[in-house]
A and B are shown apart, each in its own frame.
Chain A
Amino acid sequence: MKEINDLILPEEVLYADDHEWARMEDGIVTIGVSDYAQDQLGDIVYVELPDIDDVYEKGEEFGSIESVKAVSEMYMPVGGKVVEINSDLENSPELINQSPYDDGWIIKVLPDDENELDDLLEKDAYIAMLKGSE
């Protein structure tokens, strides 16, 4: 597994305590899981995605991600309506391992309240949290 210093943690995304990330662009929030999460989970074999138009509150479970011997639930870093899902993950769940911030994005959401993003962590705060939990 990677050392914290080896993790790829882009500046332009925000991180949740549960290791989801969120990126706001043109009023739409793209959501995925962090490099730390994919590294800890190991080879991803399946992603359970929500349906388009599903509505979730911040903190609500929207899907799950499976490795061979573990299942982890994913929680909404921000509340809103699902407008797009990454259907490439159905056949290539490994995209999350290979490219967690780009090809491995999971869902896109129209947020109910953009201010909810303010509760998320910036890169440095996220690193501090990871170090604290070690």
Chain B
Amino acid sequence: MNEGKKSIAESISREPLLWDRGRVGRSGFSLPKRDVEDTPINEALLGQGPDFPDVSEVDVVRHFTKLSQLNFGVDTGMYPLGSCTMKYNPKINEKQAKLEGFTGAHPLLPCELSQGALEVMAELEEFLLEITGMDAVTLQPAAGAHGELTGMLIMHAYHKFHGSHRTKIIIPDTAHGTNPASAALCGFKTVPVTSGPDGILGADTVAEIMDEETAGIMITNPNTLGLFEEHILKIAEAVHEKGGLVYGDGANMNAIMGIADVGALGIDILHLNLHKTFSTPHGGGGPGSGPVCVMKNLASFLPVPRIITHNGEFALSEDFPLSIGRIHGFYGNFSVMVKALSYILSMGSDLKKASQLAVLNANYIKEKLKDVLHLPFDRPCMHECVFTDRLQQKNKISTLDMAKRLIDYGYHPPTIYFPLVVSGAIMIEPTETESKEEIDNFVEAFKAIAEEAAHSPDLLRQAPTAGRISRLDETEAARHPCLTG
């Protein structure tokens, strides 16, 4: 190609940094008119103002449109990222969250002027309790890990209230990575516990290490291998016997809605991820929402403010002396709640069907791919299945190579190298919103990649090649960080 000319493919492959588009004198903002006089300011306090580039509205729109084209979303194609529940995000939910009565509602309005918002929250609370079978809930946590922290703070406050000083927490090797970090924020020292040869946790293993210095256990059910912790009742019994509490990481709730009764599993505290199970979009990493449900005996520790009804009206109350306190500037991510409520209202009792189909899709993939990928735990899975790269290692092909090659086939890669309990993990979560045809195509693509791994492994090592960018140098990025431009 001639110097200075570039093809369309090239011009959309690279978008200049925003400030390269800036020219003083341009503006992308419709500045409100000045209807009051100018008031002088004490010069000593004045600064320069941030040196943002001045760009026109067209510049802004083109720039971010081009950036969006460099992304892959659920609307682009199948996004089988294990543990993340990348289901379809219904458009009608976005519309509701944008209603002016919601977006414009100031959080400190007197309660009588925010009855609609409070009713949305109260309704969502009620539905989440129905779905989980638990007794009380807070919507305040802004994400799953924030929910975990809230749960750990509740556990900490509970033991303190009962005059018991506990310093340890049991965390199985199949737990989410956030669990130990959340527990550490409350000063708990992690006691790791290994799952059994079948990928699930034995009740005896827990009973052996559970003692009166241990605050409880954090358990993900279904676990990160996509397996249901069948011994959960006995595990809970062992923990409760020594005065501990059971924390359930509900990130994988999409497998068991309407099927398992979480309230009957012996779980005392459970967080949910509205941005997983309840279809709200992930937004490239947030905002999410991580409500925490508890059993009756822990309700008084929930964060404040809580929604109460008073003379038939909704109100916010801080009058809960045992509460752990506030964990968010206001009440949590309200607009995410609107979307989740819209989803539940649109699904009704079909939520159970969603879980059934999510599990069907995962088991189907497991059956279809287990001949070409090593399946470390061959037993019925829940909403996701975990393979490894063991069969491809003889050709010196890794999980990473296969994941990158999937991009060339038009799929977002699954979660890789997690859970840590199996080496070279490939964790696939299709969700219920993928059709049989989509899944068949995905399976065929993976089979083709396994074939390539055996016969033309270099294709995988070079992957992705079909996209606009090839593998990036993460080592250099970490050695000499360049975090601003």
Residues of A within 8 A of B (CB): 43, 45-46, 66-69, 93-94
Contacts and interface: CB of A to CB of B under 8 A. Distances in A.
Contacts of A46: 478-479
Contacts of B479: 43, 45-46, 93-94
A43 B478 CA distance: 10
A74 to B, nearest CB: 18
Contacts of A69: 417
15 contacts: A43-B475, A43-B479, A45-B475, A45-B478, A45-B479, A46-B478, A46-B479, A66-B478, A67-B475, A68-B474, A68-B475, A68-B478, A69-B417, A93-B479, A94-B479
A25 B479 CA distance: 31
B395 to A, nearest CB: 15
B482 to A, nearest CB: 13
A29 to B, nearest CB: 28
Contacts of A94: 479
Main secondary structure of the interface of A (DSSP, over half): loop
Contacts of A43: 475, 479
Interface string B409-431: 00000000100000000000000
Contacts of B478: 45-46, 66, 68
Interface string B459-485: 000000000000000110011000000
B418 to A, nearest CB: 11
Nearest to B478: A45
* Interface pairs A-B: 9 shortest CB-CB: A45-B478, A43-B475, A68-B474, A45-B479, A68-B478, A68-B475, A45-B475, A93-B479, A46-B478
A93 to B, nearest CB: 6
Given A43-B479, A46-B479, 13 more contacts: A43-B475, A45-B475, A45-B478, A45-B479, A46-B478, A66-B478, A67-B475, A68-B474, A68-B475, A68-B478, A69-B417, A93-B479, A94-B479
Nearest to A92: B479
A8 B479 CA distance: 25
A30 B478 CA distance: 27
A94 B478 CA distance: 12
Contacts of A93: 479
Nearest to A45: B478
A45 B474 CA distance: 9
Nearest to A94: B479
A87 to B, nearest CB: 16
A93 B478 CA distance: 11
Nearest to A66: B478
